[in-house]
A and B are shown apart, each in its own frame.
Chain A
């Protein structure tokens, strides 16, 4: 069992006055043996949430729990992360074997031969021949490097893997093989995974559950099929419509979608200045005043969707 829970997690950067709340009261669950895809535009706080989960960024509030207990910050790390850029996430002065060996916990393999065997096993796991261990990162292609990064993350026998935009720095012809590998490993090793990407098609392909993030908040969360086929939040609908070649791409004029300044998030619903069904588009509708004044809550809909006008849960 490995279930990662974010409870009211807040991350703030900078001082009180000019500071920025990158992640604002996020509740999110990554269930056991499940891939949760996290989508959102740049600046929505996706990567900050990822770094906070593994302890690279301190929390300003809230808790992150693994199976109900705080994530240990010393000794064995059950949470591992794979980074976006395979060119900066591997030490250029260390062989890939050394890089992987370093991440193997001491009690898992003692003695040089045992560690070498473990490195070979991990390399095979990511479809790299074991004899590549002596190479340096510069001798590998981007896709191969990302495999090594994956092997390093697996070395600690993690329960949860956080994958932060792991294919966005790769060439399109390489991206597919890495996605296949990630999916394959997740299923074989029964890992839980938080898969972050701005590419909805990629997220759709790997995820069981999809969470949509906007300006530091989770605005929609639900099973992938539900969220994609029946998006409740207008922002999710906009994201889906923006996918090139998508069937839902409406021909209407999109609202002028200027990202809101995260230093000064708007009151009420954070999406209301951009919302196509919100108070700026329908100034005459009195029910739209709620968008400016109160923050929508996620619960009470078919799946969690923080919108005042999402379809309510059917009454049973």
Chain B
């Protein structure tokens, strides 16, 4: 899969081919040419390159070309052995804190941290002195020099995985520490470790060549590339080929290891992704239809007068034919509160971002109409429009911890808005900021304005973000899951604050939430979204009595509230939420719908308005016309 993908990149393929060639050479060269490399020819000592000896001969008349080929085995094997020692030691040290527990683990980690601070070559020379000059000494020296860095990497990766719940769950299941590491930890940190080991092998090869060159590594009569290089260097002015040949070999082999490691790192992608469900193939799901709303559905459900926001045929698409928003149309009147409800992947947040002009490349926004206060947002942005959006449109996001700059005082951040968009002086702007913080009921606003965001609690920070939106004179506040990250008691305050602002200044509110109860409580009108479309649009007060789309009704029945009968099973919606990359033909809800028939799976119903301005996109919307309460009760299907 991903490993195969590495081989398909040009760098990966050439590095792998090179590496394979070197390993093959290491395997066969001593067998094929061992004799010729050791054949002493006293008649031809220190010769230059000739047809007989391509790279000349050494001081015993041995053929340098074959000696370089044969030395491949020694060089590569020593490098791999050293890497093996380093990796094994590193793994032991890196997993030790997990195996031994906190107190001993801390000591090990401290020791590793000190060792990491020493330069690798220094460590190698130090060990070479301890273990004595020679092959074994150099091997251990380089191995142990690799270990600390590897131990640190292992430790970091293991610590990240060890904090995840599946480790805790395995421990609860009675899995022992050894098995825990082998079965759960190492497979999840393996890829970055393999990549690093490959690169370390390249480093070990070079280091070994260096030590042998200095006379600290392989001792005669054995020889590796470093040794050959050292022997050849003395006569470099007389016949350079004797030094160049092993030099080139070292460079090529080192490059092969390092390039392969880099290609792996790039192809596998560090660090390993921990995402939710991977999206399926991002192709083939493109469907026609939905590019424009039917005329009947256009601009319905609107309140009188000029709307604050008018959206029609809004689409958001990403490369590969994925369209998470597929033709959304609605209007928001002055002072109106409209809620958008939907599950993850329904496109509700992207709709909000598209209205706020916040969709980034490579996402693309298209619409038949996107007007805010009569200003067309589909044309190129102008400074005037930026000012209009800056002062009249406020956005509040889900996570109040990330929507403020942590290094700037809260008052300053609010004031900046007024300075940039309204041209206020610093002092005026700050005074307004304090005033706005007071409006959003921050106690001791003057003092709080001088604090940093981290000194605010979550609810206060969310109120401050709303206060930031109020720095101008907003006509519309778009709130995307503003209370999801907050506790219920704090949620109530934030919702009340929004309602209060709306009542005081005729500010329209577009509230996006997965919680149909919250939306029903705060909003005048509810838009239900499913798979990138509005499937139902109706007054919030009629949600429980007049919902006609099966999805809306199922949603209402599936979420327990304080009046749910505890002796009845909850209504369940079978199947899983639609994946925007793989939408079915026809109505997107059909695979989960109890009313779906052949018509539903064949063609997608349009959003049609009825006499009261309610809109619904369902072929069977009238099936429930006379039944007021949701009655879909079914025990969960396996999914």
The answer to whether B174 and A105 have CB atoms under 8 Å apart is yes
- A138 CA to B164 CA, complexed, in Å: 16
**Minimum C-beta distance from A180 to chain B (A):** 5
Contact assessment for A129 and B173 in the assembled complex, using a CB-CB cutoff below 8 Å: no
The one of A89, A180, A198 that contacts B636, using a Cβ cutoff of 8 Å: A180
Which of A11-19, A22-30, A73-81, A283-291 is the contact stretch?
A73-81
B500 to A, closest residue via Cβ: A253
Residues of B within 8 A of A301 (CB): none
Contact between chains at A173 and B573 (CB < 8 Å): yes
Name the A residues within 8 Å of B184 (CB-CB).
91, 93-94
Complex Cα spacing A205 to B460, Å:
31
Q: Are A242 and B492 in contact (CB under 8 A)?
A: yes
Judge whether B165 and A176 touch: CB under 8 Å. no
Contacts A80-B172, A144-B639, A259-B487; A173 near B166 (Cβ below 8 A): no
Check B170–A143 contact: CB distance below 8 A. Answer: no
Supposing A83-B168, A92-B188, A258-B457 touch, asked if A173 and B560 sit within 8 A by C-beta, the answer is no
State A241–B493 Cα separation when bound (angstroms). Answer: 11
Q: Output the least CB separation between B252 and chain A (Å).
A: 35
From 539 to 573 in chain B, residues with beta carbon under 8 angstroms from any chain A beta carbon are 554-555, 557-564, 566, 569-573
The answer to whether A244 and B520 touch (CB under 8 A), given A138-B277, A254-B492, is yes
Chain B residues positioned under 8 Å from A128 (CB to CB): 638
B169 touches A239 (CB 8 A): no
B383 within 8 A of A: no
The answer to whether B443 touches A179, judged by C-beta atoms less than 8 angstroms apart, is no
A residues within 8 A CB of B515? 172, 244
Smallest distance from the beta carbon of B56 to chain A beta carbons, Å? Answer: 53
Give the contact-size bracket for chain B: 35 or more
Q: CB of A189 within 8 A of chain B?
A: no
Question: Is B577 located at the chain interface by the 8 A CB criterion?
Answer: yes
Is there an interface contact between B169 and A172, defined as CB atoms closer than 8 Å? no
A103 to B175, CA, bound (A): 8
Q: A92-B188, A243-B488, A244-B518 are in contact. Are A180 and B165 (CB under 8 A)?
A: no
Q: Are B569 and A91 in contact (CB under 8 A)?
A: no
A43–B572 Cα distance when bound, in Å, is 31
Q: How far is the CB of A101 from chain B (nearest CB, A)?
A: 10
Residues of B within 8 A of A240 (CB): 562
What's the least CB distance linking B515 to chain A, in Å? 7
| Neighbouring B residues of A156 by C-beta, 8 Å | 173-174
Tell me whether B77 is interfacial, beta carbon within 8 Å: no
Smallest Cβ distance from A42 to chain B, in angstroms? 6
Lowest 4 CB-CB distances: which A-B pairs, in order? Answer: A177-B636, A103-B173, A41-B487, A89-B165
Q: Which residues of B contact A (CB under 8 A)?
A: 164-166, 168-175, 183-184, 187-188, 274-278, 343-344, 441, 443, 457, 459-460, 487-493, 495-496, 514-518, 520-521, 554-555, 557-564, 566, 569-573, 576-577, 592, 635-639
Residue pairs across A and B with Cβ atoms less than 8 A apart, 14 shown, are A77-B174, A83-B168, A92-B188, A127-B636, A143-B576, A172-B555, A176-B560, A180-B635, A181-B636, A198-B488, A243-B488, A246-B562, A247-B562, A254-B493
Given contacts A88-B165, A89-B166, A241-B492, 19 further A-B contacts (CB under 8 A): A42-B487, A55-B172, A56-B168, A83-B168, A85-B165, A89-B164, A94-B187, A127-B637, A152-B169, A153-B169, A177-B570, A180-B570, A180-B636, A201-B562, A202-B560, A244-B518, A245-B517, A246-B562, A258-B457
